[in-house]
Amino acid sequence: MKRLVRSYRAIRVAVSLSFLPLLMREALLLHMGHEKGSIHQDVPGFIIWLMSRYEHLMMRTLNYLAMRDWMYRRDLNRRIMDFLSRRMMSFVNGEVLTLDEVRELLGSIFEGGYTVAIGTCPCRRALNMLSDDVPNNTDMVIGLWAEEYLRHYPGLYHRIDKAEAEELVESFDRYGYVHQLYGFRSQEGSAYVLCNCNKDVCIPLRTQKERGYQSFRKGRSLAMLDEEACLGVEECGACLTRCPFDARVVEGGKGAVKEDMCFGCGLCVTTCKGKATTLERKKGAKLIYARRLVS
Chain residues binding ligand SF4 by CB under 6 A are: 223, 225, 230-231, 233, 236-239, 242-243, 245, 247-248, 254-255, 257, 262-268, 272-274, 276-277
Residue 56 or residue 254: which is nearer to ligand SF4 going by CB?
Answer: 254
The SS3 of residue 242 is helix
* Minimum distance of ligand SF4 from residue 227's CB (angstroms): 9
- Is the separation of the CB atoms in 244 and 123 below 8 Å? no
243 contacts 267 by C-beta, under 8 angstroms: yes
* 193-197, strands of its sheet edge to edge: 157-159, 116-119, 139-142, 193-197, 178-184, 92-97, 216-217
Q: How far is the CB of 268 from ligand SF4 (least distance, A)?
A: 3
Q: How many CA atoms lie within 13 A of 269 on its CB side?
A: 17
Give the residue with the Cβ less far from ligand SF4, 106 or 233.
Answer: 233
Nearer to ligand SF4, 39 or 99 (CB): 99
How would you label 207-232 residue by residue, b for 16+ Cβ within 10 Å and e otherwise?
bbbebebebbbbbbbbbebeeeebbe
Shortest Cβ distance from residue 238 to ligand SF4 (Å)?
4
Q: Which is nearer to ligand SF4, 126 or 269 (CB)?
A: 269
Contact (Cβ atoms closer than 8 angstroms) between residue 236 and residue 255: yes
DSSP state of 186: T
Find out whether 217 and 89 touch, Cβ atoms under 8 Å: no
Nearer to ligand SF4, 71 or 261 (CB): 261
Least distance (Å) between residue 266 CB and ligand SF4: 5
Nearer to ligand SF4, 181 or 268 (CB): 268
Minimum separation from the CB atom of position 233 to ligand SF4 (A): 5
Minimum distance of ligand SF4 from residue 258's CB (angstroms): 8
